[in-house]
Chain A
Amino acid sequence: MTEVVAIGGSAGSLPVVMAILKALPVAFDYTVIVVIHRLKNVVSEMERILAEASNLNIREPEDKEPIKKGIVYLAPQNYHLQIEADRTFSLDYSEPVNYSRPSIDVTFECVATVFKGRSVAILLSGANADGAAGLGKVIENGGTGIVQEPNTADYKLMPQAAIDKNKRALRQSPDDIVDYVSTVNSSQKPRE
């Protein structure tokens, strides 16, 4: 039983994130958490684009907001998105980690600590090494770590760093990732 699917990406990851979200079932019984690096001071256009692209319940959580199922949470720009043991989000405005805020490592590590084996972490295209350590924590705690096959990524550095660091990470193409996520917690076959 998966409780959380956490997706991290940077440069070049947006099309894959969109494809994953579009393929989500209308109702799903887990939580999706998306952490994408964004430029400072860019108004969160992305939230709007993503919400339009797929009739989803998608939101940027506020501090101490309880985590619910069936919702896509987007890390707000300029804050680290953390998760507390009581399954609430907490935001953090301290210095960037891996030159990034939000940092994928920060969120993935929290997911690993709180949701242990009931979590899936997916790391996509990007031009820095954020996420590799967090993905490792998820795997270490019994969760599943998936990395976009670097050959299919616009920017290979991020997925490659994660693969180099984590021998047990699964390498998948964007299509496979979409299939994987759309069938989490269901025995159904993915739609053709």
Chain B
Amino acid sequence: MAERHITNDDLVEILHLINRTYGYDFSDYSRASIKRRIHRSMDMSNLETAYELKFRLANDAEYFRWFLEVLTVNVTEMFRDPEFYTELREKVFPALATYPIIKIWHAGCATGEEVYSMAIMLKEAGLLERAKIYATDLNPLNIEKAKKGITSLQHVKSYTHNYIRSGGKTDFSDYYSAQYGAAIISSELRKNILFSQHNLVTDQVFNEFQLICCRNVLIYFNKDLQNRVISLFYDSLSPMGYLAIGTKESLLFTEVRDRFEVISAENKIFRRKKSSTSIK
């Protein structure tokens, strides 16, 4: 590994340049992570200095598209953390079933694997017809991929395993068709999903939901931004609506923790407390 080093000042300038040129504000992302992401992108594109990187970013929009892919960590899988899905089915779905229309928001959905997992679960619970799923991500390339509903066949084995562990009811192969080394998610699962671009840093409340899933996104934010985004979720939830975050993420260290009650401490499922006042 090369010994590239950007200073804190460099970092601030790079983030400022990105915001000015492309409109993405990363200034409140976890500093340790974002610095490592930037070092990694420099390694991968053979850039030696912060100056070279800034020059490239300022003059090459195509490079930025690639750079954004490296910056936002896109790793995801279907039925990631199977126990989470089990608890969701057992503790959240019965409440969701009481609504005539069930609105769900996946914030930071990456390439859609989590969203399709949700659709499968809803279908098996007989709720998919009534569900309206909004799936958003900051990265337009992710949204493009997610819309296609294609995932690589090579991962299907481990997804099948996850699906079974989560308590899936049928054969996982019912939900996709294999074509040229890819698994194409069945169109039935896709019809109630709306994918679109939404930036949690700068965009606003756009609907009211009974369930918001924002898993493994908050870890890339600093504490301030976590507070702001959780407030956004609070304001986007119906009274008694549910919020699910990643298994290593926590509301405990945020200012808004008292606004939620814990449904599953292990799998990080929370419910908005009834009080109707908005935060701030």
Contact = CB atoms under 8 A, between A and B. Distances in A.
A83 B36 CA distance: 12
A62 B218 CA distance: 12
Contacts of B33: 82, 90, 92, 94
Interface in B219-250: 219-220, 222-223, 226, 246, 248-250
Interface stretch (A30-38, A63-71, A146-154): A63-71
Contacts of A66: 253
B186 interface: no
A63 B217 CA distance: 11
A20 B268 CA distance: 33
A63 B219 contact: yes
Main secondary structure of the interface of A (DSSP, over half): loop
Given A63-B218, A82-B30, A88 B248 contact: no
A86 B223 contact: yes
Contact of B75 (A64, A91, A93): A93
Contacts of A49: none
Contacts of B219: 63, 90-93
Contacts of B190: none
Quick one: which of A84, A88, A91 has the most chain B CB within 10 A? A91
A92 B223 contact: no
Nearest to A60: B248
A110 interface: yes
Interface residues of A, number: 22
Interface size class of B (residues with CB under 8 A): 20 to 34
A85 B36 contact: no
A92 B33 CA distance: 7
A180 interface: no
A106 B216 CA distance: 19
Given A88-B253, A94-B75, A76 B248 contact: yes
A65 B223 CA distance: 10
Given A63-B219, A66-B253, A90-B219, A83 B248 contact: no
Interface in A56-110: 62-66, 76, 79, 82-86, 88, 90-95, 106, 110
A157 interface: no
Given A82-B33, A84-B31, A92-B33, A62 B223 contact: no
Interface of B: 1, 30-33, 36-37, 40, 73, 75, 216, 218-220, 222-223, 226, 246, 248-250, 252-254
15 contacts: A62-B248, A63-B219, A63-B250, A64-B250, A65-B252, A79-B248, A83-B32, A84-B31, A85-B31, A86-B223, A90-B219, A92-B32, A92-B220, A93-B219, A94-B40
Interface of A: 62-66, 76, 79, 82-86, 88, 90-95, 106, 110, 133
Q: Which 3 A-B pairs have the closest CB atoms?
A: A82-B32, A62-B250, A64-B253
